Structures are given as C-alpha cells and as structure tokens.
Amino acid sequence: MAVSTPRVDEAMCPYRLVLEHLTSRWGVLVLIHLLDRSYRFSELRRAIGQVSEKMLTQTLQTLERDGLVHRDAKPVIPPRVDYTLTDLGREAAEQVRGLATWTHERMGEVEKARLAYDEARERQSRAS
Amino acid sequence: MAVSTPRVDEAMCPYRLVLEHLTSRWGVLVLIHLLDRSYRFSELRRAIGQVSEKMLTQTLQTLERDGLVHRDAKPVIPPRVDYTLTDLGREAAEQVRGLATWTHERMGEVEKARLAYDEARERQSRAS
DNA sequence: CGGTATCCAAAAGGATACTG
DNA sequence: CAGTATCCTTTTGGATACCG
C-alpha cells in the first residue's frame, strides 16, 4: 500500500498533474502503443521493452483512473486482461503521438545542434 | 560538476531522450512560456513558479543543447540573459502546447472519470 | 497470467552558500 | 543578475517474493 503520496500528486494544479501522467516516461509509450490496437499486459510489457512490471502496472492504473485507458479483465484461468484506449484516451494519445512523431522527424536537427553546442564548449575549455 | 551521468541520459535511444527533454516537468512549462515571447532567467523563474534555480538552469541548458532554445547573454553589469525559442524549438513547443491545451480542455472529463473510478473502488472495499 | 507488497539502490530535485 | 558547487532529502523505480 502507498504510505506516502508521491510529490507529483500533491500541491499541484490538477491540470499539470494530468499532463505529467500523459508525458511520463512510460505513459507516453503506453498511449502510443495502444493507439494501434488493444494489448494484453505482458504483451505490452514486451512491446515497450525496458519497463518493469511494477512501473507498467502503476502507469496503467493511473491512466485508467484518468479515464484514458479501459481495463478489461476476463474472468478466465489463466487470467487475461486487455487494455484499450477510451475515446478520451484516443484524443490524448493522438496529441502525444504528434509530439513523438515530430521528435522522430527532427532528430537529425537536434543532433546537429548538439554537436555544435559541444564543440563550442570544447573550444571554451581549451581557451582557458 | 556532474560526477554521474543521469540514468535518463544513457542507454536509451536518442529519440526517446529528446522526448523526455520536451516532456520533462519543467521543459513543458519553459517551452510553453517561450512560445509567447522571450524571457529573462528570473522572469521565467517567477512566471513558472515552483521551479528552483537549479532545475531551471538545468532545463534551459538541456533545451539549448538540443537546439530548441537560444541563449543570449548580454555582456553588461548586472548580467542580463534572454532566452528565446529557435525555429526548431518553436515547432516543438507548438506540439507541446497542443498537448497542454487538450489536457486543459478535457480536465472536466478526466475528473469525472476519476470520481467514477474511486467510487467503484470504494464499493469494492465495502463489499469485502 | 496479472498482478500486489516490501525492500533497497539510484536519481531527481530543493536549500544554501558562493562567484563573476 | 545569473548562474555554479555542495550537501542532503524526497521520489522513482528495479528486484524479489508472494497471491488469486
């Protein structure tokens, strides 16, 4: 049980809070994956990669509570749980994907900028 | 000096890394503010609110290195430094703003979903 | 399979003091 | 004013063990 509410969940305007959920490390990736189709828990875990079970659970619960993700637990043995975007979640995910797509397209520019920045700083330290 | 490179900066594909910069707690707010106009360092600090000096510095440096923010340090006493979006940064900031605006508009829906979620869980625990 | 609970290491981030 | 450096607290997140 959570004995301490995380800092991010207190004393912040609710709007920023939801924004943090959407833009959290794993939130972004979950939303983008679910934009394609439904996923089962472990399927999503494998698709995303490095995410731990705990973090995926936490992320999905947060997104479910915010009404962005629908959790469909089928009462079968072995258990089967499917996660899907709600209509609200689909809208959010499309915004998130917009950002992700932009980033992907512009990576080259960013890397060029970094080289220039690092080289400029290199010259700085040599001059000292 | 940074003795340990943060986890977030190593062993991750560069694309995700930039996405984390854009969606970081303070990155989002810096970009949205700069979309309106240039800001001086302390002006930005006051406008954003709860951000510490250290975090704002760090955020601005990261965004500058990624080529999203331009830093204009005027050689005057007392020092004056203005921060502006680059063209690349403006594109990024517009994506980020899209997400922020969506969130703001849909807050009501999210809060309704949360009430429903919490109430459902409440009934669960009473039934046990 | 799809989680929960607990513990612990790592990282983020704030406070303070100091500098050009 | 606009930072940097240092210390220290809070939060995040991974590993492990266990449950329905």
Would you say the C-beta of A50 is within 7 Å of strand D? yes
Q: Say if residue B52's pLDDT is above 60.
A: yes
Predicted local confidence at residue B10, as pLDDT = 57
Domain total of chain A: 1
pTM: 0.90
User: What average pLDDT does the structure give for chain B?
Assistant: 90
pLDDT value, residue B128 = 52
Cβ atoms of B39 and B83 within 8 Å: the answer is: yes
Domain assignment present for A71: yes
- Which H, E and C letters describe chain B, residue by residue? CCCCCCHHHCCCCHHHHHHHHHHCHHHHHHHHHHHHCCEEHHHHHHHHCCCCHHHHHHHHHHHHHCCCEEEEEECCCCCEEEEEECHHHHHHHHHHHHHHHHHHHHHHHHHHHHHHHHHHHHHHHHHC
**Residues 33 through 62 of chain A touching chain B, CB cutoff 8 Å:** none
Q: Per the domain annotation, does A18 fall within a domain?
A: yes
Is residue A62 assigned to a domain?
A: yes
Q: Reply yes or no on whether the pLDDT at B94 is more than 70.
A: yes
Tens digits of residue pLDDT in A90-112: 999 999 999 999 999 999 999 99
B87, two tokens: 């063209």
Averaged pLDDT for residues B39-50: 96
Work out the pLDDT band at B2, boundaries 50, 70, 90: very low
Q: What is the pLDDT of residue B11?
A: 62
Q: Could you give the residue ranges of the DSSP H alpha helices within chain A?
A: 14-23, 25-36, 41-48, 53-65, 87-127
Neighbouring C-beta atoms of residue A86, cutoff 10 Å: 19
Range of the domain at A79: 14-127
Neighbours of B36 (CB within 10 A): 10
Determine, yes or no, domain membership for B9.
Answer: no
For A37-94, the pLDDT digits (tens) are 999 999 999 999 989 999 999 999 999 999 999 999 999 989 999 999 999 999 999 9
The set of residues with CB closer than 7 Å to nucleic strand C is A 1, 40-43, 53-54, 57, 60-61, 71, 73, 78-81; B 4, 6-9, 24-25, 50-55, 78-79
For residue A7, pLDDT beyond 70:
no
Q: Quick one: tokens of B6?
A: 């943060």
A10 touches chain B (CB under 8 A): no
In whole angstroms, give the CA distance from residue B49 to residue B28. 13
Decide if A117 touches B, using CB distance below 8 A. yes
pLDDT at B14: 86
- pLDDT for the residue A126: 67
Residue A32 — pLDDT band, cuts 50, 70, 90?
Answer: very high
Report how far residue A9's alpha carbon sits from residue A105's, in angstroms, rounded to the nearest whole number. 33
What is the arithmetic mean of pLDDT over A11-34?
Answer: 92
Of B77 and B86, which is predicted with more confidence? B86
Give B37 CA → D1 C1' in Å: 20
Q: Are A73 and A87 in contact (CB under 8 A)?
A: no
Q: Reduce the DSSP state of residue A127 to 3 states and report it.
A: helix
pLDDT tier for residue B4 given thresholds of 50, 70 and 90: very low
Cβ A35 vs Cβ A93: under 8 Å? yes
- What pLDDT score was predicted for residue B31? 98
What confidence tier does A23 reach under pLDDT thresholds 50, 70, 90? Answer: very high
CATH of the domain at A106: 1.10.10.10
Per the domain annotation, does A47 fall within a domain?
Answer: yes
